[in-house]
Each structure stands twice: as C-alpha cells, then as structure tokens.
Amino acid sequence: MLPATVHGLLRSYRRKELSPVEVVAEHLARIERLDPTLNAFVVVDVEGATAAAAESAERWARAEPIGDLDGIPVTIKDIVAMAGFPTSEGSSVSSDEPAAADAPPVARLREANAVLLGKTTTSEFGWKGMTDSPRFGITRNPWDADHTPGGSSGGAGASLAAGIGAVAHGSDGGGSIRIPASYCGLVGLKPTFGRVPQAPVDSPFVSLVANGPLARSVEDAGLLLNVLSRPDIRDWHAVPHDDRDWRVGLDDGLTGLRIAYSETYGGAVVEPDVAAICRRVVDRLVDAGADITEVGPVIEPLRPQLEGYWKAGFATRLATIPSDRWGELDPGFRVLAQEGMTFDVHGMAEANAARARLVETMRRFHLDHDILLTPTMPTPPPPVDTTYHSPGFDRWDHAVPFTVPFNYTGQPAASIPAGVTAGGPVLPVGLQVVATHFREDLVLRAARAVLDLVGWTWPDPALTAALENLT
C-alpha cells in the first residue's frame, strides 16, 4: 500500500523507495477501479498526469526535486479554472470552452510541481452541501455508497477518502470544504478569507469563499496551505502574504490555549449520536488537562438575518443565464435563485450590517477564547436521495449551522475526524476547530493535538472494509 500522506510520499521519494511514475500510475488505476461507483471525477487527465510524473521522476532520480509537492498527486475541484479543460461548475449551462489559464490555486500547485490528476465534481455552482448535479449525476461516499460525501467539494472528499490523490483542492463558501471533511473522515481547512488568492473575483459570494486543502493529516493541510497561499496579482482581496511554514508549532499541544466548546452554536440542534461522539472527544481533552469552557449558543440564529443574502447571490448568477436554459438547472437552485430576485438594496444593506455585527461578536469572543470547538455537522452523512433544503434536510438546520457563520466572518476553521457512528452503516463525524482571523496556526495546532489524542489515522478499519466492497 502506498504511503497515505504527502509527507510519507516525499520521504519515499527521497529514499528512492518509490518513484512518482509508480505512485501516479497507482492513483490513476484506482480512479479507473473506483470512480464508476463514486462518480467523483469530471475529467481525468491521464496524459498530463503521466507526463508530469515522468518529469518529476527524472528530477528525483537526480536528487533535484523542485517545489514542495514535486510528484505528489493532487485533484482540483471543478469550480476553478484548470488550463486546457472547461470549468463546468457542475452545470450544463456552463461553457465547454477550455480555460486559457489556471486559477491561482491551480497555478500555485503547478509551480510546486504537483501532479494534477484531474477535476472533481461539485454541486451546480457549488450551491449546496451535497454533491449531485443535472450534468454529472450523484457523487457517492466511499464509506457507504448510499450516502453523500457532502458538498460542494464532494468529489474532492470522496476521492481523497477512497485513496485517490494524496491531497485535494477544495473551496468553501458555506462549509464546502468542512462538510465533505466531516462526512468523509478527513481534515479540511477553510483559511482566513484572503489568505489564498482567487480569481476571478466577480462572484456575488466572493467575500464568503476561501480555497483550501482537504487532507489525511494536519501536516499535509499545513503544507498545502503553504503552497496555496502564495501571492497572485489577480486578487485584490488577498491579504499580504505570510511566508511562514504553517507546519511549525504543530507539536505545541493545547497547553496555554483557552478553549470553548459549543454544541448549540447559533441555536443549532445536534443529533444524539453526533453529540455523543463530540462530547467524548471534549471529555478526553478535559481529562488530558485542557482548559475548556462550555459556552452555549454564542450568536443568534443567522437564518432570519442572512437567508435573503444567500438567495440574492443565486439570483445574480441566474440573471447571467438565458431564460430559455433555466429548465436545465438544478430545480432547487432555480427556485431559490428566483426567490432571490426580490431581494433589494435595503435588504443587502441590512445583511451587510448583520455580517458586521457577527464579526464584532466573534472578535470579542476570541478575546477570552483562543479556540472554539463545535461539531462540524449536526447529522451524519444523509442518504444520496435526500432532497437538500427541504423540510427533512433544511440547509440552515441540518447542513450549515456550524460552518456558514465563519464564512460570513472570514475566520479560519477546520474540520477534523472525531469518531464514527455506532450503528450501521458506520459513518464518520467531524469536530470543527475555529480561531480568530489570521490564526491558522492555532487552528492547525489544536487540530493536531486533538487528533493525536483521539488516535485517528486514515484509513479507519470501517472505511477499509467499505473500499474492499467498492472494488
């Protein structure tokens, strides 16, 4: 079996135990074997990946690797541009014209000499926390193919959990990295807004979105953040580049950190099995000497303040699509987008004021607490035939109550594995780690300490068994 992490692969390359050619060939073979069930890929670049692996192998043979990810197989979410391939965003109405240039995250990965395996699936325009679309169908969770891997970076999460790629690119505008991380048993980091440059920057949701890593270890997430956060002149929202190595300090543990835990953040209601799993982790942290305070809801529910803002963003996108093609859209997206057309400038002003109040609340909160822990999701992964944003699975109640607040504030937040459900099927549950703006170091440090205590490593035995059944 290949090393599970980027760091393990790089060590094998240095010792000449493995070649990038062997590693990439194995990943491509795994896609061919598993993706007919998972449906996690929009396109697989066999020719490009094979050529890049051969070039990397030559550099490693000379002991002259170039870049932090030389020869490392990576996947790209089909929400950003990858030169030579269309950017479909999961939609039949998107252009099939190949992108002329790479988006900033893809450009940084190429500069680091990562091997790009292909583009992974997303819900249409990334609108929901499950991954299915009229164009590409349903993406499935490798833990149990009858359940969703989450979304909208669902193809990234499903493929990485299934052993495809060493690390994955995702984007997060309401939880779209953290949701698949929770549902697939991975580490997923949404950086501070502006930490990772993006382009174009004309989306109505641009101030909510952060590109970032899905990984099998905290170290790998930190390494990918090093790469993705390098400057790009195309993004005027980007914060000044911080050239630190985000892996430094991962071993510092929880000593000295003031940690808050909220199971009811923003009025969320958590299913009992999720609550029990997260509670066991918190209890173990307390037993190990961590300074943890339970804090309750902290903020008011966001739905009354921001639901119109959410729909208005969809309406803006809908307005760019010829009306005679609206019938090709995901019906759930279309309904919300049409409702958003009634949102006016006064509503937008009120929503922006609500965001400002939320940011101030959380900044004051972090004066007393370095880290906030919450469940990532209120439920385990739902079945793939669940209707998103319906009475049975409401977006605000069941999908994003813990994740979307930190898109509105722009804070860094990560999901890490907390455990698995006890019944059948066995499914993963995530714990969210949040810090104040620009403190990804604290998020990664706390995430690493918690995972060390929990003893989580990929693959979990239940996932190993599930993957055997997929083949």
Question: What is the C-alpha to C-alpha distance for residues 114 and 130, in angstroms, rounded to an integer?
Answer: 27
At 142 the pLDDT is 98
Q: Please spell the DSSP secondary structure of 279-340, one letter per residue.
A: HHHHHHHHHTT-EEEE-TT-S--SHHHHHHHHHHHHHHHHTTS-GGGGGGS-HHHHHHHHHH
pLDDT of residue 423: 81
From the candidates 153, 176, 182, 229, which is the catalytic residue? 176
172: in domain: yes
Residue 332 lies in a domain: no
In a domain, 323, yes or no: no
Q: Which band of pLDDT confidence, cut at 50, 70 and 90, is reported for residue 295?
A: very high
Note the pLDDT of residue 317.
Answer: 96
182 labelled catalytic: no
HSE-CB at 378 with a 13 A cutoff on CA atoms is 21
Which amino acid belongs to residue 89? E
How does pLDDT run across 369-398, given as a tens digit for each residue?
999 999 999 999 999 999 999 999 999 999
Does 471 score more than 80 pLDDT?
no
Indicate whether 101 belongs to any domain: yes
Which pLDDT tens digit goes with each residue over 234-284? 999 999 999 999 999 999 999 999 999 999 999 999 999 999 999 999 999
176: annotated active-site residue: yes
CA–CA distance, 362 with 434 (Å, rounded to integer): 10
Task: Tell me if 437 is assigned to some domain.
Answer: yes
Of the pLDDT bands very low, low, confident and very high (cuts 50, 70, 90), residue 424 is confident
Residue 66 belongs to domain with CATH number: 3.90.1300.10
3-15 confidence digits (pLDDT tens)? 999 999 999 999 9
How distant, in Å, are the alpha carbons of 106, 146, 417 from that of 383? 32, 6, 20
CB 91 within 8 A of CB 125: yes
Distances (CA, A) of 358 to 209, 375, 409: 17, 19, 7
Q: Is 326 among the domain residues?
A: no
Q: What is the pLDDT of residue 348?
A: 95
Predicted structure pTM score? 0.98
C-beta separation of 109 from 169 below 8 A: yes
d(Cα 45, Cα 116) in Å, to the nearest integer? 7
Q: Of 56, 77, 91, 217, which one is the catalytic site residue?
A: 77
Query: What is the Cα–Cα distance from 256 to 288, expressed in whole angstroms?
Result: 13
- Rounded CA separation 162/143 (Å): 8
Q: How confident is the model at residue 437 (pLDDT cuts 50, 70, 90)?
A: very high
pLDDT, tens digit, 9 for 90 and up, residues 19-65: 999 999 999 999 999 999 999 999 999 999 999 999 999 999 999 99
Q: What is the rounded CA–CA span in Å between residue 237 and residue 234?
A: 9
Mind listing the pLDDT tens digit for each residue in 86-97? Answer: 999 999 999 999
pLDDT of residue 1: 81
Supply 366's token pair: 């972090």
Backbone phi and psi for residue 397, each to the nearest 5 degrees, phi listed first: -90, -40
What is the tally of structural domains in the chain? 1
Q: Considering 152, 153, 171, 229, which one is annotated as catalytic?
A: 152
- Say how far residue 22 (Cα) sits from the centre of its chain: 28
Q: Is 311 a catalytic residue?
A: no
- The CA distance from 190 to 174, in Å, is 10
In-domain check, residue 334? no
> Could you tell me the pLDDT band of residue 208, with boundaries at 50, 70 and 90?
very high
Range of the domain at 253: 6-303+343-470
Asked if residue 333 is part of any domain, the answer here is no
